[in-house]
Structure 1
């Protein structure tokens, strides 16, 4: 395992990286779409991973046509997800708390850069009891361009006060890895629903099965 220079700042994606919400979202989106007479298959769903609401809307309308009720289905999807998480709790990914404690003990700052809206990100962090670990939250509505463009990661670095070179991105999706690469930020991939294609995976410094293994990658100062 090739060691990485210890960063000053680690940027976390949220859905599929910290929380096992991508699979839950797929189920809830299928249910919501079905109520309006549409079918969302996995291939289409995977195209929307890591993008903000604007890009999601464009993808869905391109696939279904202008009559597709994007906002209604999106809102119903989140309502279904919230109802499940309220009753069952936020599905935290294995190794997350160990990683956050390890980074905190090394005085490494942590941020979240998610295509979800910032209010939703903050709510999810609070529900999982981990808000105190993150000094900056950058949501999908805070930049004009979505992943795979680099804007959201550059915004997170700027807000936190660190250069891209002093930062590290943790991502699960192809769009996220491409965004980190375009931002000039080293990235580690922890795949979720599907492993990114080899052409994208090669952009990552390392590919790991669990979040806590990131600590083994970082060289002590």
Structure 2
């Protein structure tokens, strides 16, 4: 990176929030579903994309998931509700990184593909006040990895793309950010935090 970044955009799921697969596995076993049936169904592009593009609500998305499960409709709805009661947990290393970046005088934005459930989730996880701005695909009607999402995110955080470091665990999002002119890095855990600090011109 030739120029130091002046702000950070960071992803939520897979970076700041992590998911233990055990609760989902337990639900699938309880309701006689094949392994990963819930996640695979939810991530079907024809229903996932409208959910993160602001076209349908989270509740509508989950209703579509339940309708596609190969079990009795009432049991399917119960399975989805039980699965969704788990909202993940904060990754302490990612949170410590964010706090250090902000303490160093850099703005931090949460840039994530999300539904209208994002804000309540952030409140429940205690993350609402841990970032300076939240850029939600559902609210912006734009989603990663589209360049327009990153352009809008840079506008909201107040810096030109070349001065905004983007961190995500999804390589497609990283490539999308780079195509939009942002320096971007794929998150694989805390082992490269020193490099990210250097990119932000922090000690």
Q: Which bracket does the TM-score occupy, shorter chain normalised?
A: 0.5 to 0.7
Q: CA deviation at 1:101?
A: 1.8
> 2-side partners of 1:219 and 1:55: how far apart?
37
Matches within 5 A, 1:1-221: 5-21=3-19, 24=21, 27=24, 31=28, 40=36, 53-54=49-50, 70-72=64-66, 79-85=81-87, 90-117=88-115, 119-191=116-188, 209-210=190-191, 212-213=193-194, 214-215=196-197, 217-220=199-202
When Rg is computed on C-alpha atoms for both structures, the one with the higher figure is 2
> 2-side partners of 1:78 and 1:145: how far apart?
26
* Superposition CA RMSD, Å: 4.1
Q: CA deviation at 1:211?
A: 7.0
Question: How many residue pairs get matched?
Answer: 184
Residue ranges of structure 2 left out of the alignment (5+ in a row): 54-62, 69-76
Q: Once the two structures are superposed, what CA deviation does each residue of 1:11-38 show, in whole Å capped at 9, x if it has no partner?
A: 11111111113x549936x839x95977
Residue ranges of structure 1 left out of the alignment (5+ in a row): 58-68, 192-207
Q: Give the alignment's TM-score, normalised by structure 2.
A: 0.68
Q: Give the alignment's TM-score, normalised by structure 1.
A: 0.63
SS in 2 for 1:95: helix
> 1-side partners of 2:96 and 2:141: how far apart?
34
